[in-house]
Amino acid sequence: MDSENALSSSRLVVPNLPVSKRVGSLLRSMEYFVQNPPNGERDDIESAFYSAVLDQQHARPDFGELIQDFVAARPELTTTHTRYLLRSSFQKIAVRQHADYPEGFNQTKWKNIISSYLDDSSIKNEIVSDLHNRHLQTNIKDRYKSLPVIIGWMRANKRIGHEVNILDFGSSRNHGLKHLSLMDKISGVRFSDTVVVEPISESPAGSQDTLVNERHTAAFNHHQNMPVNLRVGLGIDKESIDDPTNAEWARANLTHREFKEHKVDEYDLLDIMPVSQNVRFQQYDLLDADQSKFFEVSPDDQGGFDIVSMFTMLNQMSETDRHRFLRLARRYADPMGVVVVQDFARVNQDLSTDIEFLDADWNKGFSHRTIVLDMLKPVKYQEAFLYATGRCDKVQIAVGETAVKLVAGGNTAAVNLAEFLDVTSV
């Protein structure tokens, strides 16, 4: 099997695959990215890390065992997740110890660093503990920019008034909701602008030279920069927002490139900003059987939440748990509201009542999507936006017909998003 095939086979989590096969798949995926740096030369640091890992797991049997035990302990994870967790657990220590990280982190430096971390028993234990227990925990605020656009759509359809109630599952550091509510303050924190390209075929290669749709881009940016009047913004995560080790872990989940490009400054800024009075956080494991602990979830009126969102969360779950989350989300959504799933996923072509989850590759073109379940028609998932990467800096308004489906909210009239939102003049 060549590397490309080895990679695409990592799309599925195959239950009960022998540990040796899963370790093999992890090593092959790292070999692939050594040869093909993600995002070309710009991500040479990531390749340098993988190259050093490959080298050291040959040189040091204890490192080979550590990787083997980690893979054995996490049967639910895809190869890509396994690779990212390995990266984040080492990166966390490197960031702590080197103020100028990732300056100078070439293959030789990573090799020495990996070796020195393995020789230090307390650091090694920390890495092992992160590998065995942590979830990927990023909270890039740009992911949340689809929400103001969906809010615009709901408002245009008289689903909501001036204010909106949002319940966000798996909100990590709650940056997304915080950012939404800060947009109406003079905070200077804004979403980055979005480019909307013309609907194209699903081919990721085609996404490189597509035409920018100026009108849709203007409409999208207009909506994403509109103030969001949150009445209740509630983020739920099983990790505590107050525990500094959780904050350190979430920060370590940024990519090397994001550290290099000082995205981390923006991230830190959002972290120290006071939480807006309408944004709350609740620590709760959504898989906990004891639902009575989940006491705060009702907004103060009779209905449910206008929007229940799950961003880049379900992907890391087992199939069974995904469905538990999706059922839970419906339960808390208002009958006039929507459930929004944003993930490496797509609506099942044959069965629009089902979502297919894909490999969480942050660099691959347009596999990160926003999928909406309209509670007025709760039998169908509809694709709303596609993002170029998991960092959500480029968007496409869905593929072909699916855009029409969202904009028409169940009525199949052929209107585009701008017309639908009644913003043709922007």
Ligand X SMILES: C[S@@+](CC[C@H](N)C(=O)[O-])C[C@H]1O[C@@H](n2cnc3c(N)ncnc32)[C@H](O)[C@@H]1O
Q: What residues between 61 and 100 interact with ligand X by CB under 6 A?
A: none
- Cβ atoms within 10 Å, residue 144: 26
When the beta carbons of 67 and 340 are compared against ligand X, the nearer one is 340
When the beta carbons of 48 and 180 are compared against ligand X, the nearer one is 180
Q: Are 250 and 137 in contact (CB under 8 A)?
A: yes
Q: Choose, by CB under 6 A, the member of 44, 130, 237, 374 that binds ligand X.
A: 237
Closest approach of Cβ 14 to ligand X, in Å? 21
Give burial (CB, 10 Å; 0-12/13-18/19+) of 5.
Answer: exposed
When the beta carbons of 28 and 141 are compared against ligand X, the nearer one is 141
172 in contact with ligand X (CB under 6 A): yes
d(C-alpha 405, C-alpha 383), whole Å: 8
Q: Which listed range, 42-50, 119-127, 130-138, 202-210, lies at the site for ligand X (CB under 6 A)?
A: 130-138
d(C-alpha 168, C-alpha 305), whole Å: 10
Q: Are 343 and 313 in contact (CB under 8 A)?
A: yes
Residues in the chain: 426
Closest approach of Cβ 376 to ligand X, in Å? 25
Q: Are 223 and 144 in contact (CB under 8 A)?
A: no
When the beta carbons of 58 and 238 are compared against ligand X, the nearer one is 238
135 in contact with ligand X (CB under 6 A): yes
Q: Choose, by CB under 6 A, the member of 140, 219, 297, 333 that binds ligand X.
A: 140
Q: What residues between 238 and 277 interact with ligand X by CB under 6 A?
A: 238-239
Q: Which listed range, 42-50, 90-98, 189-197, 233-241, lies at the site for ligand X (CB under 6 A)?
A: 233-241
Spell out, one character per residue from 287 to 306, where the chain touches ligand X: x when CB under 6 A holds, - when not. x-------------------
When the beta carbons of 170 and 199 are compared against ligand X, the nearer one is 170
311 in contact with ligand X (CB under 6 A): yes
- From the list 276, 206, 196, 200, the residue with the least C-alpha distance to 235 is 276
Torsion of CA 419, 423, 425, 426, to 10 degrees: -120
When the beta carbons of 21 and 190 are compared against ligand X, the nearer one is 190
Q: Choose, by CB under 6 A, the member of 25, 79, 80, 138 that binds ligand X.
A: 138
Q: Rounded to the nearest 5 degrees, what angle is found at the Cα of 320, between the Cα atoms of 318 and 321?
A: 65
When the beta carbons of 86 and 423 are compared against ligand X, the nearer one is 86
Task: Select the residue whose beta carbon is closest to ligand X and give its number.
Answer: 170
d(C-alpha 166, C-alpha 333), whole Å: 9
Distances (CA, A) of 238 to 62, 134, 288: 32, 11, 10
What percentage of the chain's residues is helix, strand, coil (to nearest 5)? 45, 15, 40
When the beta carbons of 45 and 340 are compared against ligand X, the nearer one is 340
Closest approach of Cβ 350 to ligand X, in Å? 28
Residues paired with residue 168 on neighbouring β-strands, in sequence order: 235, 309
Closest approach of Cβ 34 to ligand X, in Å? 25
Q: Rounded to the nearest 5 degrees, what angle is found at the Cα of 293, between the Cα atoms of 292 and 297?
A: 90
When the beta carbons of 219 and 297 are compared against ligand X, the nearer one is 297
For 44, what's the count of Cα atoms within 13 Å in the CB-facing half-sphere?
8
143 in contact with ligand X (CB under 6 A): yes
313 in contact with ligand X (CB under 6 A): yes
Instruction: State the residues that interact with ligand X by CB under 6 A.
Output: 135-140, 143, 170-172, 176, 236-239, 285-287, 311-313
